[in-house]
Amino acid sequence: MADVLVATNVTKQFGGLTAVDNVDFSVPEKGIVSLIGPNGAGKTTFFNCMTGLYKPTTGTVMFNGRDITGKPPHVVTESGIARTFQNIKLFKTMTVLENVQVGRHCRLRSRISGMVFHSPFTKKEEKETEGRARELLALVGIERRRFQDLGSSLPYGDQRRLEIARALASDPKLLLLDEPTAGMNPQESEELTGLMQKLRTELGISVLLIEHDMKVVMGVSDHITVLESGAKIAAGQPQEVRANPRVVEAYLGSQA
């Protein structure tokens, strides 16, 4: 299978600190791959380099054969990468539905004149946007009666799901999930695993996952990459990674 995302030699330095150190990484089409590592390993920094929030110090990021290295976030999103955030970043004072509608922003083409005069095109587009938002909310499993509530009033697990729906609204080819099960109970985590598989089979979306819950990671991933102190220390199938002594050491510490 072809790779949708290929990151080559990505390094990110903050002053003297090397947060991500020369990492090669790729996500195959319709793949679910995970990035794991102890706290502070540079996982989220790596994510931010992929999505344009940070510009990598060196290295390149190719997406669908297009160089997106250091492109601003909205360009990256438009090219087909969407993400969620580790610390939920919903638009707190917008309704659930509006949150998802914002996610669709980069696919909308209405002009100012159309917005002001409600041109047929704008009307149609707005209607489609709302319809799509409702579909996506149903897909991630948020109850219809919560659609007009404020996003921030949802229970924690639903807020994470809402973030996923918002990300999906931009019609991504690749979805980056930053610790999506944090704060979820085991049952919710399991539902989320199911959702990820559904996204792959039904929408053909690849998923890149940062996760601490090993049950989720081992259960859903085709491929796992392990970071420690910014460097890639292992990569492979879940069973291989699980058995890798360096990974065990990184997580549990070496036996002195």
Partner 1 sequence: MSAVRNAFGKLADLDFRILIAVFVAVMVIFGIIGENTTNSDFYAAVITTIAYVMMGLGLNIVVGFAGLLDLGYVAFFAIGAFVMGWLGSAHFGDANFKFLASDLTPDAGIHINFFLILVIAAAFTALWGAVLGFPTLRLRGDYLAIVTLAFGEIVPRVFELSTSGFFGIGNTDFSNGRQGITPVDKPYLPIPGLDNITRIDLKPFFFIAFAMLLVTLFLNFRLRDSRLGRAWIAVREDEVAAAAMGVNLVRVKLWAYAIGAALGGFAGAFLATFNNTVNVDQFEFGFSVFVLCMVVIGGMGNIGGVVLGAIALAMFDRYGLKQLDTLPSKVGLDFDFSSVKFGLFGFFLLAMMILRPEGFIPNRRRKLELHEGEHEGGVASDEDLYSVRG
| Tokens linked to 60 | 């390149």
Q: Cα-flanking dihedrals φ and ψ of residue 193, to 5°?
A: -55, -45
Separation of alpha carbons 103 and 231, rounded Å: 32
Chain CA centroid to CA 72, Å: 16
**Nearest CB to partner 1, comparing residues 122 and 221:** 122
**Nearest CB to partner 1, comparing residues 166 and 200:** 166
Strand partners, 82: 175
CB atoms near residue 254 (< 10 Å): 9
Separation of alpha carbons 54 and 56, rounded Å: 6
Residues in touch with partner 1 (CB under 8 A): 48, 51-55, 72-74, 77-78, 82-83, 85, 87-94, 98, 101-108, 110, 112, 115-118, 122, 125-126, 129, 150, 152-153, 155, 159, 166-167, 169-170
User: Could you tell me the smallest distance in angstroms from the CB atom of residue 255 to partner 1?
Assistant: 35
User: Could you tell me the smallest distance in angstroms from the CB atom of residue 70 to partner 1?
Assistant: 9
**Nearest CB to partner 1, comparing residues 6 and 94:** 94
**Nearest CB to partner 1, comparing residues 109 and 253:** 109
Burial of residue 50 (number of CB atoms within 10 Å: 0-12, 13-18, 19+): buried
User: Could you tell me the smallest distance in angstroms from the CB atom of residue 17 to partner 1?
Assistant: 15
**Nearest CB to partner 1, comparing residues 153 and 185:** 153
